[in-house]
Amino acid sequence: MKRREFLKKAGAGAAAAVAATTIGAPAVIAKKRYVWKMVTTWPPKLPVLQDGAERLAKRIEQLTDGRLKIMVYAGGELVPPLGTFDAVSNGTVEMGSSAAYYWAGKTPACQWFAAVPFGLNAQGMSAWFHGGNGLKLWEEVYANFNVIPRPGGSTGVQMGGWFNKKINTLSDYKGLKMRIPGLGGKVVAKAGGTVVLTPGGEIFTNLERGVIDATEWVGPLHDLRMGFYEAAKYYYYPGWHEPGTYLEYIFNKKAYESLPKDIQQIIDAACMESEAWTLAQFDSQNGAALQELITKHHVKLIKFPDEVLNGLRKLADEVVEEEAAKDPLARKVAEDFKKFQKIVGTWGTVSEKAYYDIIQKKYPLQV
Ligand code: CA
């Protein structure tokens, strides 16, 4: 009897202990969930760029365990492709994926965060953002628009473009009709060319019909898909005008700051992951696409003569100086960029450059 009573009590005690454990456990409070919209400047399914935006949205959802879900809209699906910045700035959407040079009309200083002719390459840009003052300055420039920027990865050095006329000297640019936007276009105009702005979907037809003599686009991966090898004779390199074009992820300041700190940090970490992923995609897929252009489509690959590059570089210095003179913030960003490029450029000459000079003998370009 005593023993049975004891067991009964013990059982009750154990049950009570379980109950106590449950009550004492950390309270399970449903964490707030957020649903955001991201608009991009890119056409649906554009390799690497639109893919990267969608990948980032998925990663953030995974890493926050579903607390932040981001619906992604390609260019034109919710707002026009170049309406991305305004939509983020005015809070129509919480975030966007684009490239800073599209906003030169709002603030000339933004151009240094995307591409400067004869400026920093992908590695140098990353060093400026994360090791120098680049990201701090970028945040300062965008703060005026209630926007927070995060580097979105680089295309790497782009290609010089597709030409139906050979460029042997700088004077060959005289009268050349070329589709080349941004600061690169201003340099070509200074060299005597006529810059034609053509929407992406019309470039091929214009090149084929001789409306333009030349066009630049991105690199082998994207150029191959556009089929330019069927409309132009020569494929020039390197892309002096976009030596390491950086993409951006942009956030409405109020939306970003209203998130719990841990989600903000997940976003920042996921953006950096995306930055690395993006360059890796360009580097690996461009290599394969270049091979296909050369071997399958027999594209004639030509390097711009040194004389041409040196001439363009002098003109580019003038263009960059004119942009820097537009407002004090542009001047501040330009000065920091210039100082930084000098330092990392010197190091690059004795590190990457010296190494590439040797290793290229192992992988000679076969054209
Ligand atoms: Ca380009």
Q: What was the pLDDT predicted at 252?
A: 99
Strand order through the sheet with 234-237 = 194-195, 177-179, 214-215, 161-163, 234-237, 300-303
All structural domains of the chain, each given as residue ranges with its CATH number in brackets, are 32-153+245-283 (3.40.190.170), 161-243+290-325 (3.40.190.10)
Does residue 22 register a pLDDT over 80? no
Average pLDDT in the 154-171 region?
A: 98
30 CA → ligand 1 middle, Å: 46
Tens of pLDDT along 126-152? 999 999 999 999 999 999 999 999 999
The alpha carbon of 12 and the centre of ligand 1 are apart by a number of angstroms equal to 75
Contact 215, 197 (CB under 8 A): no
Q: Ligand 1 centroid vs 245 CA: distance in angstroms?
A: 8
Cα 47 to averaged position of ligand 1 atoms, centre (Å): 15
Residue 301 predicted with pLDDT over 90: yes
pLDDT confidence of 27, banded at 50, 70, 90? low
Q: Which residue has the tokens 């129509």?
A: 92
Q: Which three-class secondary structure state does DSSP give residue 45? A: coil
**158 alpha carbon – ligand 1 mean position (Å):** 6
CA distances to 19, 94, 170 from 173, rounded to whole Å, are 83, 43, 6
pLDDT at 20: 45
Residue 241's nearest CA partner among 199, 286, 289, 193 is: 193
CA pair distance 115, 247, nearest whole angstrom = 9
* Segment (H or E) for 152: strand 147-154
Mean pLDDT of 240-252: 98
- Lowest mean pLDDT segment, chosen from 137-146, 189-198, 357-366: 357-366
| Nearest 10 degrees: Cα torsion 156, 162, 166, 169 | -40
- Res. 14: pLDDT tops 90: no
Compute the distance from residue 179 Cα to the ligand 1 centre, in Å: 10
pLDDT score at 28: 61
Q: From the CA of 182, how far away is ligand 1's center (Å)?
A: 9
**In the predicted structure, residue 182 carries a pLDDT above the cut 60:** yes
Residue 242 CA, ligand 1 centroid: distance in Å? 6
Q: Are 113 and 134 in contact (CB under 8 A)?
A: yes
Distance 246 CA to ligand 1 centre (A): 11
Question: Does the pLDDT of residue 204 top 80, yes or no?
Answer: yes
- Ligand 1 centroid vs 91 CA: distance in angstroms? 29
What's the gap in Å between 153 CA and the centre of ligand 1?
A: 15
Report the alpha-carbon distance of residue 55 to residue 76 in Å, rounded. 19
pTM flag (> 0.85): yes
Distance 312 CA to ligand 1 centre (A): 16
Q: Cα(157) to centroid of ligand 1, in Å?
A: 10
Average pLDDT over residues 223-234: 97
Region 222-245: mean pLDDT is 97
Residue pLDDT, tens place only, 53-93: 999 999 999 999 999 999 999 999 999 999 999 999 999 99
The residues, ordered by sequence, that sit 6+ positions from 367 with a Cβ below 8 Å of its Cβ are 294, 300, 301
Helix (H, G, I), strand (E, B) or coil at 308: helix
Q: DSSP characters for 224-248? A: HHHTGGGT-SEEEE--TTSSSPEEE
The pLDDT-based confidence of 197 (bands split at 50, 70, 90) is confident
Write down the mean pLDDT value for the chain: 93
Q: How confident is the model at residue 360 (pLDDT cuts 50, 70, 90)?
A: confident
CB 72, CB 131: distance < 8 Å = no
Q: Is the dihedral of CA 15, 17, 23, 27 positive or negative?
A: negative
Calculate how far, in angstroms, residue 357's C-alpha sits from the geometric centre of ligand 1. 26
**Residue 41 near residue 84, CB atoms below 8 Å:** yes
β-strands 161-163, 246-252 pairing = unpaired
| Separation of alpha carbons 35 and 69, rounded Å | 5
Ligand 1 centroid–CA 366 distance in Å is 24
pLDDT at position 12 over 50 = no
Span from the CA of 217 to the centroid of ligand 1 (angstroms): 4
